[in-house]
Amino acid sequence: MRLLHTSDWHLGHTLRGEVTREHEHAVFLAWLLETCVREAADALLITGDVFDSATPPASAERMWFELLAAARRARPAMDIVAIAGNHDSPARLGAASAVLRELGVHVVGSLPRTAGGELDLDHVVIEIAGGRGLVAAVPFLRPIDLPADPANPLEAVYGEVLAAARARRTAGQALIATGHLYVAGADAAYLSERRVSIGGVESAPLRLFPQDLDYVALGHIHRAQRVGRDTVRYAGAPIPLALDEAGYRHSIAAIDFAGGRVSQIRLLDIPQANAVLRVPRRGAAPLGEVLAALDALPPRRADEHRPYLEVVVALDRPEPKLRALVETALEGKHARLIQLHVEHTGDRAALGDRVSARRLAELDPRDVFLQLWAREHAEPPSAEVVAGFDRLLADVSGDAADPGAS
């Protein structure tokens, strides 16, 4: 059995709210379809954040359904399993699930339960590849999916789903679990997505995925990586979703199984429709060095899909003409300025300057709270104040994750 694992497409995404990514997504989806055929995939697993928002544009939904239809034509016997991520609307993603299931496409938007409160096993434990694999398809868990009583609701849910899957598992059948969450031990430097609280917990322990699982397919972190062991993996996003991904090669995972066990894992590089450039490559540089580097960029070509450019300038004093100088240096160059950062090097750089120079994805709300508290108070916040902030943050994170929250 061969499984392809991909994640975090974020269809409908715009770079900094301005630049559409439709072309890049179209190139990726065409490549993915060709790869499914070339690799003779038995199953395609998509681990959340199919869309960038709970209300994606019509063009994004069209791309999703066109991909499913094209995959059915190209690989009629290939199973497709998709779970919702924290950006997806469970109801919207799963609206056509009954029809899609007849076509071998299984979409799990939320944790389905019967009227009696029991797991709907037919929708959450899914056979693939003619019975050679069994997927415990757990989506991003929202408050409504979690039990109220257990001390560890996340572990309670996974324990219940995996127990049900084990009860249905047959000899030689590969057992695969999914998740869209942050697993402790993952490289936080690769977290271009903010951590999302599940049941008041920001990270899930690796013990959530016992050793008897043959493969664990994860989503939420946008760069591919293993966690703890080779068979617990984030597939990563297919296109750069943040400008700090310059030089990073996006990929999907191809997993081969023999006798129900993983025999080989390969990373398949995704062709990049738009490169991401950074000047300088790391850190910040004085204005003179930055302008020289911009002048050395290649001249503009007829190709309209110019690389995205981030420029980071180190200044020890204000430069009112900074943007004009940078834009003049870029005239006729094959690059598209998306973001211009300033890092203040003087001793009097204000907190706001230091914070704004950091990327939004790197900001931890707790760190920002503590910095702002320190600016206004001589003593650090008490344990009660910190606990209150953590409760507030957990409530806000839950509301943000639930499109139906008010």
Cβ atoms 101, 195 nearer than 8 A? no
- pLDDT of the residue at 329: 94
Cβ atoms 62, 69 nearer than 8 A? no
- pLDDT of the residue at 376: 58
pTM: 0.81
User: Does residue 121 share a domain with residue 45?
Assistant: yes
Q: Is residue 170 part of a domain?
A: yes
The residue among 93, 127, 134, 98 whose CA lies nearest residue 110 is 93
Q: Give dist(CA 388, CA 400) in Å, integer.
A: 18
User: Does residue 283 share a domain with residue 255?
Assistant: no
**Number of domains forming the structure of the chain:** 2
Considering 209, 239, 269, which residue would you say is the last residue of a domain?
269
Crossing angle of the two packed helices 22-38 and 58-74, in degrees rounded to 10? 10
- pLDDT of the residue at 403: 43
Distances (CA, A) of 164 to 11, 115, 317, 393: 32, 18, 63, 33
User: Does residue 229 share a domain with residue 82?
Assistant: yes
- pLDDT of the residue at 236: 94
Distance of CA 187 to the CA centre of its chain: 14
Q: Is residue 392 part of a domain?
A: no
Q: Is residue 379 part of a domain?
A: no
Considering 269, 296, 317, which residue would you say is the last residue of a domain?
269
Phi-psi region of 226 (alpha: psi -120 to 50; beta: other; left: phi over 0): beta
User: Does residue 39 share a domain with residue 23?
Assistant: yes
Long-range Cβ pairs for the range 126-131 (8 Å, 24+): 126/79, 126/81, 128/1, 128/3, 128/42, 128/43, 128/79, 128/81, 129/1, 129/3, 129/42, 129/43, 129/79, 130/42, 130/77, 131/170, 131/173
Considering 327, 347, 363, which residue would you say is the last residue of a domain?
363
User: Does residue 133 share a domain with residue 261?
Assistant: yes
Helices (H), 227-286: none
Structure tokens at 303: 């190709």
Q: Is residue 386 part of a domain?
A: no
Matching residue, tokens 């509301």: 399
For residue 79, the cross-strand partners are 43
User: Does residue 282 share a domain with residue 151?
Assistant: no
Q: Is residue 397 part of a domain?
A: no
The residue among 233, 230, 236 whose CA lies nearest residue 217 is 233
Q: Is residue 176 part of a domain?
A: yes
> Domain residues for 37?
2-269
User: Does residue 122 share a domain with residue 23?
Assistant: yes
Q: Give dist(CA 130, CA 141) in Å, integer.
A: 28
User: Does residue 185 share a domain with residue 297?
Assistant: no
Residue type, 279: V
**Residues in the chain, how many?**
406
Residue type, 86: N
User: Does residue 231 share a domain with residue 102?
Assistant: yes
Q: Is residue 132 part of a domain?
A: yes
Cα angle 121, 3, 13; round to 5? 85
Q: Is residue 301 part of a domain?
A: yes
User: Does residue 160 share a domain with residue 49?
Assistant: yes
Distances (CA, A) of 382 to 230, 334, 377, 388: 42, 53, 11, 10
The residue among 199, 186, 243 whose CA lies nearest residue 361 is 243
Spell out the per-residue pLDDT of the chain, length 406, in tens: 999 999 999 999 998 778 899 999 999 999 999 999 999 999 999 999 999 999 999 999 999 999 999 999 999 999 999 999 999 999 999 888 888 888 889 999 998 888 887 888 888 999 999 999 999 999 999 888 888 777 888 999 999 999 999 999 999 999 999 999 999 888 866 556 666 766 666 788 999 999 999 999 999 999 999 999 999 999 999 999 888 787 788 999 999 999 999 999 999 999 999 889 999 988 899 999 999 999 999 998 887 788 999 999 999 888 889 999 999 999 999 999 998 989 887 654 554 444 444 444 445 677 677 767 665 565 677 877 877 887 787 766 554 444 444 3
- CATH number, position 39: 3.60.21.10
User: Does residue 349 share a domain with residue 256?
Assistant: no
User: Does residue 221 share a domain with residue 115?
Assistant: yes
